[in-house]
Chains A and B, each alone.
Chain A
Amino acid sequence: MPFTTGEKAESPAEAASAPAPAEGAPGLVARLKDNDLVASFLASKMTMVAAVVTVVLVAAALFAPWIAPTDPFDPAKVDLLDSHLPPRWVEGGEARFLLGTDDQGRDLFSAVLYGLRVSLLIGALGVAFAAAIGITLGLVAGYVGGRVDAVIMRIADVQLTFPAILIALLVDGVVHALLKGASREDTAFGVLVLSIGLSFWVQYARTIRGSTLVEKNKDYIQAARLVGLSPVLIMMRHVLPNVVGPVLVILTINLGLAVITEATLSFLGVGLPPTQPSLGTLIRIGQQFLFSGEWWIVAFPGVTLAGLVLAVNLLGDWLRDALNPKLR
């Protein structure tokens, strides 16, 4: 036990009479093991596996252009003669295509990597957008109070009437109606981020508003007011840092939901078009070939999507339980 030297030196009497600070300064490893967050992480093999899967998938998405054997969306490199090939290890598969090809002759492995990249990017941007809206509105509602608060929170209440996927579908439909000139291909990405952002902001707003209400009555905020700082400055510099903690947990939990939402919209045909597919689009395409036995076209994007969401959800659960049991 090389890291616990501090404890032996003390007399038992001291340890008993002065409990907390008397335990000396054990080494970093020992201290980490004593930390509840780390301990719960180490205690759960599942969480560790989830962390590894998440890191691998995020890395694969980030480095997709370098990992992928081909650019699946470069028409010059795609040959229709290669279409419908099964994975390499299945009879009829070719060494060039690890996971087989789709109906266009695109390499599925590359397509899944690029699809993962798109899915994660939209999910992350959507969640970030939602957090930005939610945090701003929550801060304003909590800090300003009164009628502004009432209006914002009533909107939140009404929105909670509808599941996120429905809101996202509505936003998608309305925005496309407003942008009737533009083609779906150009606008799909932005519309998806917008839809996800507008579907998920409520939880952030409620959380932030709640803690802002508590925080704004504390002395240091009163002091900042007396000094004459502008409300915007107070909110940004003083309130925000003190209320933003739980947002991390919501962010993680929402990332899984956002990825599912994007995939669902794309699957339903109102998300990304086949020319720039996300995992959801790939699944939509692959579903058509299920009955002809070409399972791989839907299976690999499907497994990737499920694995990603499962891993992120596990991490979110762990974070929530470890950081803030009350958020349950």
Chain B
Amino acid sequence: MTEPVLSVRDLRVEFATRRGILKAIDGISFDIAEGEVLGVVGESGAGKSVTGSAVIGLIEPPGRIAGGEIRLAGERIDNLSPQAMRHIRGKRIGMIFQDPLTSLNPLYRVGDQLTETIRTHLDLSPRQARERAIELLAEVGIPAPEKRIDGYPHEFSGGMRQRVVIALALCAEPDLVIADEPTTALDVSVQAQIIALIKRLCAERGTAVMLVTHDMGVIAETADRVAVMYAGRIAEIGPVADVVKHPLHPYARGLMGAIPSLETDADRLVQIPGAMPRLSAIPPGCAFNPRCDRTFARCRLDRPEPIVPAAPADAGHRVACHLYDSAEAEALP
């Protein structure tokens, strides 16, 4: 088996606050293979975006990586010097932010932001960089790129700006792209186009994608595999077909049940009772136990580790729930 592009093991991220230490990410592990799209879903505050920031090395104080390992193509990157990490950002890991309106510097021409980034990572002359920038803009579907390159961000629509952001993320041909809610701030009408664009460009290049979103529909269409996060932990991870069609973890079931579809009756949309606990008040045992309708004694005591479920078993499917621990399963009525 070839080395995965990204490999995260037991990652923990903490934020020191006046009222104590918050564990934003509490021991998560996952891999992304070359050309694979991993969807990361969960409610706001579940730690999706923090995971993305940790991978690209942009956790800011008071936050810090408190433990675990992050490997990019086998090489450890979580303990690199800031200088070395800078050469990975943009060059080997690209990032797409949520809001294209605010992620471009309003006082710089689009072309300047592109050539600046290109020349930081690739040894090109200003003219070559500009040509490359125009190519990239054309590739992300901006009409008349040789003209638009001299425009300012405010002269672009939201969708067009997000295309520019994608061009910026891809300009050094990275191995991995982290897309943090890339469509949340956009009009519904352009969301699908942007997702399709990211997917196509990355597939062409064999780029691995970590797609952070709370939109299950996007995940179902785009991702190869999906990780469901809850309170800083991964509740369930596996091939998208398995997890979406046959979710195992009660939380994942709740999430999937909340997707409206044409086949099911709209009256029967499921709602998960309660709210995710604050990071300062995560209960012992399984973080989901207060909201779970299948809680039993062990859920309040032991934290469930990700296990391969008994059935239906795909190779990559893991679920962190005591219900699927074979010993427990037998004990259940």
Contact = CB atoms under 8 A, between A and B. Distances in A.
Interface residues of A, number: 7
A13 B290 contact: yes
B138 interface: no
Contacts of A16: 277-278, 281-283, 290
A17 B284 contact: no
Contacts of B290: 12-13, 16-17
A16 B289 CA distance: 10
A15 interface: yes
Contact of A15 (B18, B275, B281, B300): B281
A15 B277 CA distance: 9
B274 A12 contact: no
Given A17-B290, A17-B291, A39-B18, A12 B278 contact: no
Nearest to A36: B18
Interface string A233-252: 00000000000000000000
A39 B18 CA distance: 9
Contacts of B289: 13
Contacts of A17: 274, 277, 290-291
A19 B283 contact: no
A19 B278 contact: yes
Contacts of B291: 17
Contacts of B282: 16
Interface string A3-36: 0000000001101110100000000000000000
Contacts of A15: 281, 283
Nearest to B288: A16
Contacts, number: 26
A15 B281 CA distance: 7
Contacts of B275: 19
A22 to B, nearest CB: 9
A12 B283 contact: yes
A12 B278 CA distance: 12
A19 B278 CA distance: 8
B231 to A, nearest CB: 10
Interface in A120-139: none
Contacts of B283: 12-13, 15-16
Given A13-B290, A13-B300, A19 B281 contact: yes
Contacts of B274: 17
A17 B292 CA distance: 11
B18 A12 contact: no
Interface in B285-309: 289-291, 300
A19 B284 CA distance: 16
A130 B278 CA distance: 46
A12 B277 CA distance: 11
Nearest to A15: B281
Interface string B191-206: 0000000000000000
Nearest to A16: B277
A16 B290 CA distance: 7
B278 to A, nearest CB: 6
Interface in B144-178: none
A214 to B, nearest CB: 27
Nearest to B231: A16
A19 B277 CA distance: 8
Contacts of A19: 275, 277-278, 281
22 contacts: A12-B281, A12-B283, A12-B300, A13-B283, A13-B289, A13-B290, A13-B300, A15-B281, A15-B283, A16-B277, A16-B278, A16-B281, A16-B283, A16-B290, A17-B274, A17-B277, A17-B290, A17-B291, A19-B275, A19-B278, A19-B281, A39-B18
Interface of B: 18, 274-275, 277-278, 281-284, 289-291, 300
Name the 5 nearest CB pairs between A and B, nearest first.
A16-B277, A12-B283, A13-B290, A16-B290, A17-B290
